[in-house]
Chain A
Amino acid sequence: MKQLYRRRLLYCMLMLCNGTISCHQDPAVPQSAIPAVCRIYQLITINEGARDTTTYYYNKFGLVEKSTYRKWVNGQLLSKTDQSYTYTADYYLFSQIDQTSTRAPNGTLVQQNKGYAFTYQDGLIQEIAINDNLTNAKLGYRNYTYENNQLKTYEERNGSKGMIKRYTFDNGGKLINYEEPNSNLLSVQITKGKIVSRLFRDSTQVSYEYDNEGQVTLQTTISPSGKSQYAYSYDSKPYWNKTQLLLRGIPSPDLGEHMPVHNLITSTYRIYQNGQVASEQKLILNHAYTKEGYSLGYGRSDGMRQINYYSNCL
């Protein structure tokens, strides 16, 4: 009888060993942790006989690995640009190649092949060198300097490293100084990190007003020939570029200019004479939106249209 219980116990143990021990939960492990979020796929702009298309292609992580731009005028391909991006295994942008073909009015085809080489230090971009891949000439440089890992200056230089533009930022990332030597720009006035006025050597003055989100709402130009003004208004929906990822290690500083945050819905152009509005042209952009609020495109009151396609968008 005792042996019977021993056998039964052994049987139970074997059952436990054989059946139970090998059992564990089998939770689904996704192939990728990157959520399938909304991403811009194509932008098509049609304006009378001109039509341009920009298409974006993404890698598995969601970074743009290729974009194409095509422009047709009256059914003829006038310009095309292919941009390709290469990333390191840890998703730093390693190189960029822009290949552009433009047909000149005389019918000749002008080709460009620009290469961008990215140099990082401690995970932060230091320099972007732009090279003409056809002639191997240096076309320009973008230089970044940091203070306590905060962007201090951003410079755009020509192929011989001559300064074109220089932006200086405070510790909070706000623009505090802007220089554009060797240009017609005489001076700028900066308020709260935004360029509110530009004074050119020909005494032309352009002043800007911004909303709280850094979008230009009013741009007034006073030149010896007169005064003109652009007024802009925006919706509250996210601009399509918000569907794209930022670049790792490459800051996107507020350069004190217009920041595209929302979609433009009106654009008004006024010409003043003797302090009075002499003429006014107002363009209204009617957008349709996805459920998430991204613009599916718009129809502008002058007939221009834009169509936007997204992937993973409701």
Chain B
Amino acid sequence: MKYFFTLMLLGMWLLASSAYAQKKSQKVYVASVGNTKAPTGAQLKRRNDEIIFQAKNKVNNLLDLLNTLTSSSLTESERNSVTQNSYLPNQNQIFYNDGVVIEDDIDPRHISSDNTADLVVDRYLRNLDLFYTKADTNTIFFSQVLTSAVIDGPEYPYIKVFFSSSFRGKHNQVESAYQPVHRVAELKAELIDGKWRTFITRLAFLRPGEGMAQLTKPTVTQEQGPSRSINSKLIPFIKTGSATDTLIINWDSQWLKIARATNEVAPLGFYRRSTTTSDKQNDISFTFSRNEKRLTFKQTDGVLTVFTKFEDPVKLIRRHRLSGWSQIAAGLLGLGASYAGYSTLQNSYNDYTAKLTSLNAEYNLWKTLTQQSGGGPPTTLSFNDYSTPGIYGVYGGGAVSSGLIVNGIRQLLKAGKMKRQYSKLATH
């Protein structure tokens, strides 16, 4: 028993040091934000009205483009020309360039951001041509077209147009029927030859919560950044529960930079290191935890969004497997060592008791023959008393080894689950 407290203290020290390390690994980076204010003044209002008008027209042009490409009256060369004109510079240009990414809705199974594929514009339009059944009349319809306010971005104003899209034709390979989906087009406004023109920079499914309120998303107002660029690699983090919302960040001991954020999940810019999260109304913050593998974004309204460091699923699965097998091997080794230790102790104890049994038998016989009093048989220690403190090591080692095996199995199960999820995603 005299080693029990030593072991307990050792356990407490491990727990305490882990907790301390956990606390120590938390880093908080804070930035002040301000909402993009609506333009004031008549000139700006006229500009915004014009941009809104152009944006609505551009979405109508998009609808026309889709119906044109699905019309049975066009020749292949005409279709090719229409497709290219949609993103190449010309009077009919709809998309900003050929790198614009569109969330696929041609496959009728793709009905939300969580279940789609990102296609560049040319591929999207050619897929429409290939897989969507041709018709003499329009089969694609937009409704409930709404625009956001014009937002002044760092370089250009931009705007979002929300609409409901309805495909009434059929996919020629997938039997599922189309259902109406909510789409959002993000358009960039450019002043060309004195006239405002808009181009679609993103076409996607409407995400939950991505509404008008999102359009007044705050931007980092803090203009001060690090005096030197952050000398670390850009690391992707993925929003928990989402397959597509990601942040690309890098950081050092003083600054954290949100370099890219899909779907505006967080404002871009620099965040300064702070000792605590700020309670100021205009402050937002990022907090690292779990050895910088977890990033929690706190918005001005206190809403928390959790991101997890993105890791290569194959490597992650491999690492989980390696860790699992290693722990199982270490656990089995530990159990083996504990068993060997126990056997050693038991054998040693058996030798000890055999000697004492023989001695006691001799003493008991002697006692029947002696005419004197005095003496006494040697006392025999119990196994636990005899094997102290080694037996505590055996029991402790057995418990730790069992824990390692259980944890190893958990890691393998986790790896298996991840592999199934990854395979499922890969097939899509």
Q: Spell out A's residues near B (CB within 8 Å).
A: 1-2, 5, 8-10, 12-13, 16-17, 19-25, 27, 29-30, 32-35, 37-38, 61-63, 90-91, 238, 242-248
Check B390–A33 contact: CB distance below 8 A: no
Please indicate the chain B residues that have their CB under 8 angstroms from the CB of A16 in the complex.
Answer: 393, 396-397
Q: Which among B356, B369, B374, B393 is the interface contact of A35 at CB below 8 angstroms?
A: B374
Identify which of B171-179, B247-255, B378-386 touches chain A: B378-386
Query: Contact string, B387-419, partner A, CB cutoff 8 A, digits 1/0?
Result: 111111110110010000000000000000000
Check A242–B371 contact: CB distance below 8 A: yes
Give A25 to B345 CA distance when docked, in angstroms: 10
Check B400–A22 contact: CB distance below 8 A: no
Using CB atoms, name the residue of chain A closest to B338: A21
Give A62 to B362 CA distance when docked, in angstroms: 11
> How far, in Å, is A3 (CB) from chain B's closest CB?
10
Counting CB contacts under 8 A, is B18 at the interface?
Answer: yes
Check A13–B334 contact: CB distance below 8 A: yes
Give A245 to B389 CA distance when docked, in angstroms: 42
Using CB atoms, name the residue of chain A closest to B25: A1
Check B388–A1 contact: CB distance below 8 A: no
Counting CB contacts under 8 A, is B360 at the interface?
Answer: yes
Give A90 to B334 CA distance when docked, in angstroms: 46
Check B370–A29 contact: CB distance below 8 A: no
Known: A12-B14, A242-B371. 10 other contacts (CB 8 A): A1-B25, A2-B291, A9-B400, A16-B397, A21-B345, A24-B349, A32-B359, A35-B375, A61-B362, A248-B365
Using CB atoms, name the residue of chain B closest to A90: B365
Check B386–A248 contact: CB distance below 8 A: no
**Chain A to chain B: the 4 pairs with minimum beta-carbon distance, closest first:** A35-B375, A20-B393, A21-B341, A33-B363
Q: Which among A8, A32, A246 is the interface contact of B369 at CB below 8 angstroms?
A: A246
Counting CB contacts under 8 A, is B21 at the interface?
Answer: yes
Using CB atoms, name the residue of chain B closest to A22: B390
Q: Which among B25, B362, B376, B389 is the interface contact of A20 at CB below 8 angstroms?
A: B389
Check B362–A34 contact: CB distance below 8 A: yes
Check A8–B371 contact: CB distance below 8 A: no
> How far, in Å, is B11 (CB) from chain A's closest CB?
9
Counting CB contacts under 8 A, is B259 at the interface?
Answer: no
Q: List 5 A-B contacts (CB under 8 A).
A: A19-B393, A21-B341, A24-B386, A29-B378, A38-B372
Please indicate the chain B residues that have their CB under 8 angstroms from the CB of A91 in the complex.
Answer: 365, 369
Check A25–B381 contact: CB distance below 8 A: yes
Counting CB contacts under 8 A, is B330 at the interface?
Answer: yes
Check B21–A1 contact: CB distance below 8 A: yes
Using CB atoms, name the residue of chain A closest to B327: A6
> How far, in Å, is A5 (CB) from chain B's closest CB?
6
Q: Which applies to chain A's interface (DSSP): helix, strand, loop or mixed? A: loop
Please indicate the chain B residues that have their CB under 8 angstroms from the CB of A63 in the complex.
Answer: 369
With contact pairs A17-B337, A24-B390 given, residues A245 and B14 touching in the complex (Cβ less than 8 Å) = no
Please indicate the chain A residues that have their CB under 8 angstroms from the CB of B366 in the complex.
Answer: 33-34, 61-62, 245
Check B352–A23 contact: CB distance below 8 A: no
Give A12 to B330 CA distance when docked, in angstroms: 13
Counting CB contacts under 8 A, is B3 at the interface?
Answer: yes
Check A13–B291 contact: CB distance below 8 A: no
Check B341–A17 contact: CB distance below 8 A: yes
Please indicate the chain B residues that have their CB under 8 angstroms from the CB of A24 in the complex.
Answer: 345, 348-349, 386-391
Give A13 to B404 CA distance when docked, in angstroms: 12
Counting CB contacts under 8 A, is B344 at the interface?
Answer: yes
Give A12 to B10 CA distance when docked, in angstroms: 9
Check A23–B390 contact: CB distance below 8 A: yes
> How far, in Å, is B164 (CB) from chain A's closest CB?
48
> How far, in Å, is A84 (CB) from chain B's closest CB?
19
With contact pairs A12-B10, A13-B400 given, residues A5 and B369 touching in the complex (Cβ less than 8 Å) = no
Using CB atoms, name the residue of chain A closest to B323: A6
Give A244 to B369 CA distance when docked, in angstroms: 9
Counting CB contacts under 8 A, is B37 at the interface?
Answer: no
Check B372–A13 contact: CB distance below 8 A: no
> How far, in Å, is B9 (CB) from chain A's closest CB?
12
Give A23 to B388 CA distance when docked, in angstroms: 7
Please indicate the chain B residues that have their CB under 8 angstroms from the CB of A242 in the complex.
Answer: 371-372
Using CB atoms, name the residue of chain A closest to B330: A10
Using CB atoms, name the residue of chain A closest to B356: A29
Q: Which among A13, A29, A244 is the interface contact of B397 at CB below 8 angstroms?
A: A13
Q: Which among B348, B374, B377, B394 is the interface contact of A37 at CB below 8 angstroms?
A: B374
With contact pairs A37-B370, A38-B372, A248-B365 given, residues A27 and B352 touching in the complex (Cβ less than 8 Å) = yes
Counting CB contacts under 8 A, is B428 at the interface?
Answer: no
Using CB atoms, name the residue of chain B closest to A252: B371
Check B14–A20 contact: CB distance below 8 A: no
Give A8 to B348 CA distance when docked, in angstroms: 31
Query: Contact string, B332-373, partner A, CB cutoff 8 A, digits 1/0?
Result: 001001100100110011001001100110110110111110
Please indicate the chain A residues that have their CB under 8 angstroms from the CB of B376 in the complex.
Answer: 35
Check A8–B377 contact: CB distance below 8 A: no
Which of A9, A24, A62, A248 is packed against the most chain B CB atoms within 10 Å? A24
Give A115 to B227 CA distance when docked, in angstroms: 115
With contact pairs A12-B10, A23-B389, A34-B363 given, residues A243 and B372 touching in the complex (Cβ less than 8 Å) = yes
Give A199 to B369 CA distance when docked, in angstroms: 36
> How far, in Å, is A225 (CB) from chain B's closest CB?
41
Which of B25, B371, B376, B385 is packed against the most chain A CB atoms within 10 Å? B371
Check A9–B14 contact: CB distance below 8 A: yes
Using CB atoms, name the residue of chain A closest to B363: A33
Check B387–A25 contact: CB distance below 8 A: yes
Check A5–B372 contact: CB distance below 8 A: no
Please indicate the chain A residues that have their CB under 8 angstroms from the CB of B389 in the complex.
Answer: 20, 23-24
Please indicate the chain A residues that have their CB under 8 angstroms from the CB of B370 in the complex.
Answer: 37, 62, 245-246
Please indicate the chain A residues that have their CB under 8 angstroms from the CB of B400 in the complex.
Answer: 9, 13
> How far, in Å, is A31 (CB) from chain B's closest CB?
9
Using CB atoms, name the residue of chain A closest to B3: A20
Give A19 to B344 CA distance when docked, in angstroms: 14
Which of A16, A25, A30, A246 is packed against the most chain B CB atoms within 10 Å? A16
Give A85 to B400 CA distance when docked, in angstroms: 62
Give A113 to B396 CA distance when docked, in angstroms: 70
Check B378–A33 contact: CB distance below 8 A: yes
Which of B337, B369, B372, B389 is packed against the most chain A CB atoms within 10 Å? B372
Please indicate the chain A residues that have their CB under 8 angstroms from the CB of B371 in the complex.
Answer: 238, 242-246
Please indicate the chain B residues that have their CB under 8 angstroms from the CB of A32 in the complex.
Answer: 359, 362
Check A29–B352 contact: CB distance below 8 A: yes
Give A21 to B18 CA distance when docked, in angstroms: 26
Give A299 to B328 CA distance when docked, in angstroms: 85
Please indicate the chain B residues that have their CB under 8 angstroms from the CB of A34 in the complex.
Answer: 362-363, 366, 375
> How far, in Å, is B95 (CB) from chain A's closest CB?
46
Q: Which among B291, B369, B375 is the interface contact of A245 at CB below 8 angstroms?
A: B369
Please indicate the chain A residues that have their CB under 8 angstroms from the CB of B363 in the complex.
Answer: 33-34
